[in-house]
Each structure stands twice: as structure tokens, then as C-alpha cells.
A and B are shown apart, each in its own frame.
Chain A
Amino acid sequence: MRDNVVRTPESGRAATDGGGPGLPRRRFMTALGGGMLAASAAATAANAQTKPAASNLPPNTPQWMKESGAPILSPPYGVPSKFEKSVVRRPTDLTPTALSSWSFTPLQDLHGMMTPNGLFFERHHNGVPAIDPDQHRLMIHGMVERPLLFTMDELMRFPSVSRIHFIECSGNSLTEYTKPANSVQTSHGLLSCAEWTGVPLATLLDAAGVKPEARWILAEGADAAAMDRSIPIQKAMDDALVAYAQNGEALRPEQGYPLRLVLPGYEGNMNIKWLRRLEAGPKPWMTREETSKYTDLMPGGQARQFTFVMEAKSVITHPAAGGKAIKPGTQEISGVAWSGRGRITRVDVSTDGGRSWTPAKLDEPVLSRCLTRFSLPWKWEGRPVALASRAIDESGYVQPTREQLIAVRGKNYVYHYNAIAVWNIGANGEASNAYA
């Protein structure tokens, strides 16, 4: 189902190319047996069988230099190369319905700090609504001087800001408490990062004149779950953003089109998507999601509530479980680090299972509550090793080990797992989760 994201535009392009005059696409024509160009499944299968032919390698001139390429607007909204079709979000197998479920970002295939919009992880509580922005409204009411109702056009007239922040589901890595997953995509892929553009929530609350006795803001989505969470007023006035754009374009439907809340560094579900209502009040609302669901069960049976911040964490994404096997010789160990408490100040990498550590290079810019790409040049000798990364943030917090985390929180905690991940590299160059 999710493959359609890639396949549909591809089939469109194949049809356009084949139908265009003077643009012989011999490889397509042969593989597809003439006029069957619209059959996306066939095209995909043919692509999968395409292997590097010696005729395209030095000293020969590659085939794609001997014929015209695809015309402009192939298609009008660009899509990744057909050779990247395996780079897709993948679903969890833990939920009984795809409507209240989640899908993972393929961290093992990504570079740098930004997550492409089509690969941003998903977590919905009753599907993705198809909202006409002309019929969408944001209401602000409750403990305010004047309740206000905004259209999308009106919201876009407020002074805007653009900021780059990660969003991580509080359930990211939940498998690692009890049944560690053998793929970085499923163990760490409820994590993405984007540039968000919108209006500071503080600006909108100022417009409504939020009263001093208001201590919390309820944020509510316009989805079929009417997903709602209580936000402390301090966070609302500090760096919360009412965002309408993501990486330069309108939010994707899965990310809350046309409007979402972004709470930098706070657990993902609080970043209410399809935002329709903000209510100011004196106390938290005790919604279902902040009482019965996103609360953290401790040994002894008590549960922590209102655990908002995502603590410092890092993971090596290459090499990584579920990623490509490596070959002996020069390699670059690379991964991402992030903290809900601010900037990453250092990431240490171990290639000997934690016995010794080396500070990695951090790619600029290193931003607050944002993914930071780290890397370390490495020569793999071809022998089994265990790789790990350890993040430190500007609060001085050091990412803990799995043993340390579980010693305090037990294995029923479910959320906020941020321990050091360890990948075993086998003699065959394949990575696996050392705890799996």
C-alpha cells in the first residue's frame, strides 16, 4: 500500500516517456513488451532486474548518454529515482488496525539531518483526515481576553518563523525494553526532522490575550480521534509553533495538513496534527492520551505522568541492523544524535563494544532540539566487532546504557527508551542488534 507513494508517479513517468515522440526508451520497451507502459507493477519488476551492464562502464559510453533523457515535468512534482524504490516508510506489525498505527522512517537510507517529507514517520490515532484548507479553522478560547477564530489565510498573515526540529514518538524504540528489533528502521524510525514554518504559539496567545491565571493550553486535532493533549503554558509561550509548512511546502496530510502544533523536544503525540482548537485553562484536562496511554509504568505499578521531554539519544545509521552489509577497508560510521533539552555537544563512538570511545565529528549546523549528524572515519578489518554511539547534550546529560535504563525503569515503561544502541557487525559485514 505504502509503495504506491513511489510507484504511482513512476508509472506516470514511464507512460509519458514511452508516448513522447522522438524519445525511444529502448530499455523500457524491451522489458515491458511494447505498449504495456502503464503497468506499474511490471515496470517495478523490470527495474528490480536491471543490473549494471558492462556496456555502461568504462571504457564504453553509457546508454543514457546516447539518447535523450526524460523531458521536464516528468512528473510535475518530482519523485525519487526509480532505483531508490526500496527507500520507503515501513509499518509496525504490532497494531491490529492500520488506522491507529505507525510507520517508520528508513533511517538506514538517509543522509544529513533532514527527513524528506514523504519519509517522515507516521503516527495516527484514527487515520489521516483529508481537510480542505478553506474549510479549516483554528479556534482560540477559554481563559483569554477575546476568543478568536482564524482561517488559514489569516494565520499566514501573522509574523512567521522557520525552525528546524526533530519530532520523535515517545514510543520510539519501545521494542528495545523487551523484544529488541533487528532493524534500525523499526527500532529507531519513529524519528524525523524537518524545517517547520508557522506562527509562534505565543503570538497567537498574545492576539487572544491569554489571562495570567491560565496555566495550561489544550490543543485538539480535527481528526477522527479528535486527538487532544494539555500543554504547559511555559512551553506554549516559549518555543511552540503553529506550523503550516514543512521543508518549504505545505504540511503533508500525514503530518497534519493544513495546520499542526510543533513543540520542540517534546514527545511526538503532543505535536497535535490537524490543529483546530486551543483552549486556555487553569489545570491539565486529563485527556485519555495523557492518562491512560502516554504514561510510563514504573516497577511497583505506579506510573509517571506528563513526561514531556525526549531525552538525549543517538543511533548509528550506517552501518546498522537492517542496512547494507559493509566490506572490509575504509568505512564511515555515521548516525544521528538529538536531545529535547537543547543542543548536542558531543557524540562518542565505540568500535569495541563500549570498552573505549572516540569523539565523532558533528556536522554543522548543530541546532537545539534538532537532529545532528555525526560521523567517524573507520577501517574495518573484516572481523566481528560491536559498534555503539553515545550522545551528550548541553545540559551535561549522557545517554545511558540499556542496563542502566532498565535498572531504574524496569521493562514495563514502554515509552521514552533512549539507551545506547549496539550493532554487532558479523564477519560477513552484516549488522545486527546486539540485544536482539
Chain B
Amino acid sequence: MHMRNIAAAACGLALCAAPVLAQKTPGTASANKSSELGPYGLGMVPTQQQIAGWNIDASRPDGSGLPPGSGSVSQGKQVYDQTCVACHGADGTGPMDRLVGGKGTLDSNKPVRTVGSYWPYATTLWDYIHRAMPFNSPQSLSPDQVYAVTAYVLYLNHIVPQDATMSRDTLPKVKMPNQGDFIRPDPRPDVHNIACMSNCPPLAAKPVKTEKPNPSQVQ
């Protein structure tokens, strides 16, 4: 039964937009000369409008994908209290994905990875809220609402002040506390074993339990 709900939700978003796009571009592939389609002559050249509709990414740290619009911390609280609080809690600590806190825990036995303690870029937060939240109705918030709730989550983490307003000018300038703590490039292979074949050190496993006798051995 879950599947039907998902299907309905998905249809309401990206999929049902496809026929609309097709209507706006009569002829599809045949509208393009084969030479315009590259060496294989397949597909169509999408219109700028089609590209703009699907080109939703806005996570790049330079803010190059962010749309016009803006939202304040106080506007964000209103959006948050309506659409986010059920999963993320009034203070951003859950029950679902925790958004707030965890500062100073990343090197402990119980690291708490949140927007405040872990996420390296504020633009990623805008992008993810816009593309995937709220969980039961993704891509339903306007750019202004996404700016606002982004501002509010940053405020809850003491990263921006209470009077902050986020836009495509201000958001990329927000410096996230953990930004400098990501290691690139991949340093692996980082663990080295030797293929010892005999008289090797045993694998440090617990001793084998032997309480239960094997019936075939008893007889």
C-alpha cells in the first residue's frame, strides 16, 4: 500500500510534468536536424525552459545554482513549525534526522552529525530541503520558503543571527563550522595486511562456545 502512495506522490511531481513539456515542443526529435544532435543523431535538443525546469541543483558552494528569492529566520520558523516539526522536533533534535547540536562530538565515542556539527556547506542545506523535503511532499516549498527554513535551521545551530535573511547573495557566504574537516582525496588503501599462510597470528575472535554437544559425536 505504501507503493501506491509513493506512485501518486511521484506522479504529482516530476512524472506528470513530462507530457506538459512534450506539448510545448511539438515534433520532439524530428524538430531537430540530425546534425544538431551530434554523432548519433538521436534524441532532441531540450529547450532552455525544459532545462530550467529540471536543473534543480543548487548545492554548489559558490551558490551558482541558487534561484532569486529570500527568506528570514522568523519566516523560516513559521514554515518549520508547519512542515518540519513533526519529524525534526521543535528544537531540531528529532525524532527523525537530527538537525541541531552535536558540536564537539565528532571525535567522541558517540559522534552526533548534524547540520551544525557536520555539514560543510550551507548551500547543500538549501538544495536538499528544496529537492527532498518535506519527506512526504518533496519539491512543494517555494524558493522563498526554502531560503526561510534554511535560515531558521542555521539559526537553531547558532550559525546565523536571529535577524538574518538568506538569499543567493548571503547563503554562499555562510561559513559552516566543520567545513575544513573533510579529507580529500581518498587516501586508501590505508589498511595493509600480509597474506600469511602458516603459523599465523590467530584472528582475535572470542573463544568458541562448546556447551552444546554434537549428537552425532555423543552416540
Partner of A148, one of B46, B139, B189, B206: B46
* Cβ-defined contact, A98 with B216, below 8 A: no
* Cβ-defined contact, A207 with B206, below 8 A: no
Partner of B191, one of A132, A404, A422, A429: A404
Chain B residue with Cβ nearest A222: B14
**Which of under 10, 10 to 19, 20 to 34, or 35 or more describes the interface residues of B?**
35 or more
B63 shortest CB reach to chain A, Å: 11
* Cβ-defined contact, B203 with A136, below 8 A: no
User: Which stretch from B37-45, B72-80, B148-156, B157-165 is at the chain A interface?
Assistant: B37-45
* Cβ-defined contact, B10 with A223, below 8 A: yes
* Cβ-defined contact, A301 with B106, below 8 A: yes
- The tally of residues in A whose CB lies under 8 Å from a CB in B reads 113
Chain B residues whose C-beta falls within 8 Å of the C-beta of A222 in the assembled complex: 10, 14-15
Judge whether B18 is part of the interface by a CB distance below 8 angstroms.
yes
* Cβ-defined contact, B198 with A356, below 8 A: yes
Known contacts A139-B50, A226-B131, A357 near B195 by CB under 8 Å: yes
Chain B residue with Cβ nearest A353: B202
A85 shortest CB reach to chain B, Å: 21
Chain A residues whose C-beta falls within 8 Å of the C-beta of B37 in the assembled complex: 146, 148, 207
Task: Work out how many contacts link A and B, with CB atoms closer than 8 A.
Answer: 294
Chain A residues whose C-beta falls within 8 Å of the C-beta of B120 in the assembled complex: 286, 291-292
Chain A residue with Cβ nearest B213: A427
Contacting B at CB under 8 A, from A373-430, are: 382-386, 388, 390, 392, 395, 397-405, 407-409, 411-412, 416, 420, 422, 424-429
Could you mark each residue 20-46 of chain B with 1 if its beta carbon is under 8 Å from any beta carbon of chain A, else 0?
Answer: 010000001100000011111011111
Chain B residue with Cβ nearest A308: B186
Chain A residues whose C-beta falls within 8 Å of the C-beta of B199 in the assembled complex: 355-356
* Cβ-defined contact, A148 with B193, below 8 A: no
Chain A residue with Cβ nearest B62: A283
A407 shortest CB reach to chain B, Å: 8
* Cβ-defined contact, B138 with A207, below 8 A: no
B81 shortest CB reach to chain A, Å: 21
A276 to B36, CA, bound (A): 21
Could you mark each residue 201-217 of chain B with 1 if its beta carbon is under 8 Å from any beta carbon of chain A, else 0?
Answer: 11111101110111111
Chain A residues whose C-beta falls within 8 Å of the C-beta of B16 in the assembled complex: 135
Chain B residues whose C-beta falls within 8 Å of the C-beta of A127 in the assembled complex: 2-3, 6
Chain B residues whose C-beta falls within 8 Å of the C-beta of A157 in the assembled complex: 40, 42
Known contacts A149-B50, A158-B42, A357-B197, A129 near B55 by CB under 8 Å: no
* Cβ-defined contact, B128 with A98, below 8 A: no
Judge whether A309 is part of the interface by a CB distance below 8 angstroms.
yes
A120 shortest CB reach to chain B, Å: 17
* Cβ-defined contact, B191 with A141, below 8 A: no
* Cβ-defined contact, A357 with B203, below 8 A: no
A85 to B192, CA, bound (A): 41
Judge whether A38 is part of the interface by a CB distance below 8 angstroms.
no
A207-B39, A225-B131, A288-B59 known; 20 new pairs, CB 8 Å cut-off, are A96-B95, A125-B132, A129-B10, A148-B37, A148-B44, A151-B43, A207-B43, A224-B132, A287-B57, A301-B181, A302-B181, A302-B182, A307-B188, A355-B202, A357-B198, A357-B200, A382-B216, A385-B208, A388-B203, A400-B192
A interface with B by C-beta (< 8 Å) = 96-100, 125-132, 135-137, 139, 141, 145-151, 154, 157-158, 203, 206-209, 218, 220, 222-226, 228, 276-277, 279, 281, 283, 285-288, 291-292, 295, 297-309, 311, 327-328, 346, 348, 350, 352-357, 382-386, 388, 390, 392, 395, 397-405, 407-409, 411-412, 416, 420, 422, 424-429, 432, 434-435
Interchain residue pairs A-B with the least CB separation, the first 3:
A434-B205, A301-B107, A301-B106
